[in-house]
Amino acid sequence: MTSRQLTRIAFFVVLNIVTAQLCLTFWAIPLTMQTVSVRLAGYLLPTWDATLVQLTYVLMGLLGFPVFAGGGGLQSVLSPSFGYLLGFILMAPCMSFLSRRFNPENHYSRMLVIGVLTLPALFIPGVAYLKLILNLPWEKAVLGGFVAFLLPDLVKIVLSAALATRLKKLGSWFLR
C-alpha cells in the first residue's frame, strides 16, 4: 500500500467521523451527513480503498473511539442504527465498482443513477437490523428506516454526485 493510498483512506475515515457528528435525531435513527462522505469514497476511491475506509471506520467505533453519531464501543452493535453502518461497508465498494465499470468519464447523471442503484446496499441491512433490534413489524421498520430517510438521502445523492464530479474535474493528485 502506498503512502498516497494510506493518506486517502485516512482522509475519508476522518471525513466519515466529522460527517457523523453533523446529525439530527428524530427517532431511533439519526439523520447524518455521513452518507455524503460514504458516497464520496465510493465515487472517488478504488473499490478496495473504499471498502477499507468503511471497515476502518466501523472498527474504530467498535473499539470504543467516539466516531459514530451516538458515540462508540461494542454496545453500538445493539443500537438500532448499527445496520446502516454495515450498509456503509456494502454501499461504498458497490458504488466504487459501478463508478469504475459504468462511469469512467465521471458523468454527473451516471453518478446520480449509481447513487440511486446502491440505495438497497444501505437500506436493506439498515431496515433489517432496525426491525431485529426493536422487534418492529416490517411495515414500521420500512416506514421509520427507509421511507423517512428516502428524500434526505436523494438530496445527499445529488450533493455527493456534484461534489465528486467537481473533485474529479480538478484532477487532484490525491485522487489518482
Per-residue pLDDT band for 29 (boundaries 50, 70, 90) equals confident
Q: Which domain holds residue 60?
A: 3-175
Give the CATH number of the domain where residue 18 resides.
1.10.1760.20
> What is the pLDDT, as a whole number, of residue 119?
98
**Number of domains observed in the structure of the chain:** 1
The answer to whether the pTM exceeds 0.75 is yes
Q: Characterize 121-157 residue by residue with b for buried, 16 or more Cβ atoms within 10 angstroms of its Cβ, and e for exposed.
A: bbbebbbbbbbebeebeeeebbebbbeebeeebeebb
Query: What is the average pLDDT across 137-166?
Result: 96
pLDDT, mean of residues 58-73: 95
